[in-house]
Chains A and B, each alone.
Chain A
Amino acid sequence: MTNKLDSKDRSEGDREKSRAYQREFWPGILAYAVVLVGVLVWGGLDGDSPWRFLWAVLPVIPALWIVRAVLRHVRRIDDYQRLLLLQALGGGFAVAMIASVTLAFLEIAGLSISGVGWIIYGAGMLGWIISGAVVGRR
Protein backbone atom coordinates (compact mmCIF):
# COMPACT_ATOMS: atom_id res chain seq x y z
CA MET A 1 0.00 0.00 0.00
CA THR A 2 1.34 3.41 -0.92
CA ASN A 3 1.79 5.69 2.06
CA LYS A 4 1.12 9.37 1.42
CA LEU A 5 4.25 10.10 3.46
CA ASP A 6 6.24 8.35 0.68
CA SER A 7 5.29 11.15 -1.73
CA LYS A 8 8.06 11.95 -4.21
CA ASP A 9 6.77 15.49 -4.79
CA ARG A 10 9.39 18.19 -4.71
CA SER A 11 9.47 20.31 -1.60
CA GLU A 12 8.48 23.97 -1.61
CA GLY A 13 12.16 24.83 -1.12
CA ASP A 14 13.08 22.76 -4.19
CA ARG A 15 10.47 24.54 -6.25
CA GLU A 16 11.59 27.99 -5.08
CA LYS A 17 15.25 27.23 -5.89
CA SER A 18 14.24 25.89 -9.28
CA ARG A 19 12.14 28.99 -10.02
CA ALA A 20 15.02 31.28 -9.02
CA TYR A 21 17.38 29.35 -11.29
CA GLN A 22 14.97 29.47 -14.24
CA ARG A 23 14.44 33.22 -13.72
CA GLU A 24 18.17 33.84 -13.95
CA PHE A 25 19.14 31.17 -16.50
CA TRP A 26 16.62 31.63 -19.32
CA PRO A 27 17.14 35.38 -19.90
CA GLY A 28 20.84 34.55 -20.36
CA ILE A 29 20.06 31.78 -22.86
CA LEU A 30 17.65 34.06 -24.73
CA ALA A 31 20.19 36.91 -24.86
CA TYR A 32 22.87 34.44 -25.98
CA ALA A 33 20.66 33.12 -28.80
CA VAL A 34 19.75 36.65 -29.95
CA VAL A 35 23.37 37.85 -29.95
CA LEU A 36 24.56 34.63 -31.61
CA VAL A 37 22.02 34.89 -34.42
CA GLY A 38 22.79 38.60 -34.82
CA VAL A 39 26.51 37.93 -35.05
CA LEU A 40 26.09 35.05 -37.50
CA VAL A 41 23.69 37.02 -39.74
CA TRP A 42 25.16 40.53 -39.59
CA GLY A 43 28.62 40.03 -38.10
CA GLY A 44 30.33 39.29 -41.40
CA LEU A 45 32.56 36.72 -39.71
CA ASP A 46 33.74 35.38 -43.06
CA GLY A 47 34.62 38.90 -44.31
CA ASP A 48 37.87 40.79 -43.88
CA SER A 49 36.84 43.59 -41.53
CA PRO A 50 38.97 43.73 -38.39
CA TRP A 51 35.71 44.24 -36.45
CA ARG A 52 34.74 40.62 -37.16
CA PHE A 53 36.94 39.48 -34.28
CA LEU A 54 35.01 41.69 -31.88
CA TRP A 55 31.67 40.37 -33.23
CA ALA A 56 32.98 36.82 -32.93
CA VAL A 57 33.54 37.14 -29.18
CA LEU A 58 30.39 39.20 -28.51
CA PRO A 59 28.26 36.11 -27.52
CA VAL A 60 30.64 35.63 -24.59
CA ILE A 61 28.91 38.52 -22.77
CA PRO A 62 25.47 36.84 -22.45
CA ALA A 63 27.27 33.52 -21.88
CA LEU A 64 28.82 35.10 -18.77
CA TRP A 65 25.29 35.82 -17.55
CA ILE A 66 24.53 32.09 -17.90
CA VAL A 67 27.69 31.24 -15.94
CA ARG A 68 26.58 33.69 -13.22
CA ALA A 69 23.15 32.00 -13.07
CA VAL A 70 24.74 28.56 -12.72
CA LEU A 71 27.18 29.74 -10.01
CA ARG A 72 24.34 31.35 -8.04
CA HIS A 73 22.36 28.11 -8.36
CA VAL A 74 25.33 26.14 -7.02
CA ARG A 75 25.44 28.46 -4.00
CA ARG A 76 21.73 27.86 -3.34
CA ILE A 77 21.71 24.05 -3.49
CA ASP A 78 22.77 21.78 -0.60
CA ASP A 79 25.91 19.67 -0.19
CA TYR A 80 24.43 16.47 -1.63
CA GLN A 81 23.14 18.23 -4.73
CA ARG A 82 26.56 19.85 -5.16
CA LEU A 83 28.11 16.38 -4.97
CA LEU A 84 25.79 15.11 -7.73
CA LEU A 85 26.50 18.21 -9.82
CA LEU A 86 30.23 17.71 -9.37
CA GLN A 87 29.96 14.07 -10.49
CA ALA A 88 27.94 15.11 -13.54
CA LEU A 89 30.42 17.85 -14.40
CA GLY A 90 33.25 15.34 -13.95
CA GLY A 91 31.55 13.03 -16.45
CA GLY A 92 31.16 15.88 -18.94
CA PHE A 93 34.77 16.97 -18.46
CA ALA A 94 36.04 13.41 -19.02
CA VAL A 95 34.03 13.07 -22.24
CA ALA A 96 35.28 16.46 -23.48
CA MET A 97 38.89 15.53 -22.73
CA ILE A 98 38.58 12.14 -24.45
CA ALA A 99 36.96 13.80 -27.47
CA SER A 100 39.70 16.44 -27.51
CA VAL A 101 42.56 13.92 -27.41
CA THR A 102 40.86 11.65 -29.97
CA LEU A 103 40.34 14.52 -32.41
CA ALA A 104 43.90 15.77 -31.87
CA PHE A 105 45.35 12.35 -32.74
CA LEU A 106 43.07 12.06 -35.77
CA GLU A 107 44.36 15.43 -36.96
CA ILE A 108 47.96 14.33 -36.39
CA ALA A 109 47.15 11.26 -38.48
CA GLY A 110 46.14 13.58 -41.29
CA LEU A 111 42.36 13.71 -40.97
CA SER A 112 41.01 17.17 -41.67
CA ILE A 113 38.19 17.99 -39.25
CA SER A 114 36.30 21.27 -39.33
CA GLY A 115 34.58 22.75 -36.28
CA VAL A 116 36.70 20.81 -33.78
CA GLY A 117 35.85 23.25 -30.99
CA TRP A 118 32.12 22.74 -31.52
CA ILE A 119 32.52 18.95 -31.53
CA ILE A 120 34.38 19.05 -28.20
CA TYR A 121 31.82 21.48 -26.78
CA GLY A 122 28.94 19.25 -27.89
CA ALA A 123 30.59 16.11 -26.53
CA GLY A 124 31.24 17.78 -23.17
CA MET A 125 27.70 19.09 -22.86
CA LEU A 126 26.26 15.72 -23.87
CA GLY A 127 28.53 14.00 -21.35
CA TRP A 128 27.37 16.43 -18.64
CA ILE A 129 23.69 15.85 -19.44
CA ILE A 130 23.99 12.04 -19.55
CA SER A 131 26.14 11.93 -16.40
CA GLY A 132 23.64 14.21 -14.65
CA ALA A 133 20.77 11.89 -15.59
CA VAL A 134 22.71 8.84 -14.39
CA VAL A 135 23.80 10.26 -11.02
CA GLY A 136 20.35 11.80 -10.48
CA ARG A 137 18.72 8.36 -10.75
CA ARG A 138 20.73 6.94 -7.85
Chain B
Amino acid sequence: MKNQLKSLREGRGWTQGALADRLGVSRQTVNALETGRYDPALPLAFRIARLFGQPIESIFTPPEEQEVPES
Protein backbone atom coordinates (compact mmCIF):
# COMPACT_ATOMS: atom_id res chain seq x y z
CA MET B 1 0.00 0.00 0.00
CA LYS B 2 1.37 3.40 -1.01
CA ASN B 3 1.47 6.19 1.55
CA GLN B 4 2.53 9.79 2.08
CA LEU B 5 4.29 9.11 5.36
CA LYS B 6 7.80 10.07 4.24
CA SER B 7 6.77 13.40 2.73
CA LEU B 8 4.60 14.20 5.76
CA ARG B 9 7.46 13.36 8.10
CA GLU B 10 9.99 15.39 6.14
CA GLY B 11 7.50 18.24 5.97
CA ARG B 12 7.62 18.38 9.75
CA GLY B 13 11.42 18.14 9.80
CA TRP B 14 11.39 14.85 11.72
CA THR B 15 13.81 11.96 11.43
CA GLN B 16 12.41 8.43 11.26
CA GLY B 17 13.45 7.99 14.89
CA ALA B 18 11.58 11.14 15.95
CA LEU B 19 8.43 9.95 14.19
CA ALA B 20 8.87 6.49 15.71
CA ASP B 21 8.95 7.98 19.21
CA ARG B 22 5.80 10.01 18.50
CA LEU B 23 3.98 6.91 17.25
CA GLY B 24 5.35 4.57 19.93
CA VAL B 25 6.94 2.20 17.40
CA SER B 26 10.51 1.40 16.35
CA ARG B 27 12.49 3.30 13.70
CA GLN B 28 12.65 0.03 11.76
CA THR B 29 8.84 -0.01 11.67
CA VAL B 30 8.67 3.57 10.39
CA ASN B 31 11.15 2.66 7.65
CA ALA B 32 9.09 -0.40 6.69
CA LEU B 33 5.93 1.74 6.58
CA GLU B 34 7.56 4.40 4.41
CA THR B 35 8.94 1.88 1.92
CA GLY B 36 5.59 0.08 1.70
CA ARG B 37 6.94 -3.19 3.09
CA TYR B 38 4.51 -3.09 5.99
CA ASP B 39 0.89 -1.98 6.12
CA PRO B 40 -0.09 -0.79 9.59
CA ALA B 41 -2.88 -2.27 11.66
CA LEU B 42 -5.86 0.04 12.23
CA PRO B 43 -4.77 1.36 15.67
CA LEU B 44 -1.39 2.49 14.27
CA ALA B 45 -3.02 3.90 11.12
CA PHE B 46 -5.34 5.98 13.32
CA ARG B 47 -2.39 7.19 15.42
CA ILE B 48 -0.60 8.28 12.24
CA ALA B 49 -3.72 10.05 10.95
CA ARG B 50 -4.23 11.81 14.29
CA LEU B 51 -0.57 12.86 14.50
CA PHE B 52 -0.63 14.49 11.06
CA GLY B 53 -4.19 15.77 11.38
CA GLN B 54 -5.35 14.08 8.19
CA PRO B 55 -7.84 11.31 7.38
CA ILE B 56 -6.36 7.84 6.93
CA GLU B 57 -7.40 7.69 3.27
CA SER B 58 -5.40 10.81 2.43
CA ILE B 59 -2.25 9.25 3.88
CA PHE B 60 -2.65 5.66 2.68
CA THR B 61 -3.63 4.78 -0.88
CA PRO B 62 -4.58 1.16 -1.57
CA PRO B 63 -3.49 -0.28 -4.94
CA GLU B 64 -6.33 -0.14 -7.45
CA GLU B 65 -6.23 -3.87 -8.07
CA GLN B 66 -6.95 -4.48 -4.41
CA GLU B 67 -10.19 -2.52 -4.39
CA VAL B 68 -13.22 -4.51 -3.26
CA PRO B 69 -15.47 -5.26 -6.26
CA GLU B 70 -19.06 -4.07 -6.04
CA SER B 71 -21.54 -6.87 -5.36
Contacts and interface: CB of A to CB of B under 8 A. Distances in A.
Interface of A: 3-14, 17, 77-81, 83-84, 136, 138
A14 B28 CA distance: 9
Contacts of B28: 14, 80-81, 84, 136
Contacts of B20: 11, 13-14
Interface of B: 9-10, 13-18, 20-21, 24-29, 31-33, 37-38, 40-41, 44
A113 B55 CA distance: 62
**Dominant SS among interface residues on chain A:** helix
For B17, B33, B37, the residue with the greatest tally of chain A CB atoms inside 10 Å of its CB is: B17
A9 B31 CA distance: 11
Contacts of B31: 8
A37 to B, nearest CB: 36
B40 to A, nearest CB: 8
14 contacts: A4-B15, A5-B14, A7-B15, A7-B17, A11-B26, A13-B25, A14-B20, A78-B44, A79-B44, A80-B25, A80-B28, A80-B29, A83-B38, A84-B28
B54 to A, nearest CB: 19
B15 A9 contact: yes
A78 B27 contact: no
Contacts of B38: 80, 83
A98 B10 CA distance: 47
A13 B17 CA distance: 8
A5 B29 CA distance: 16
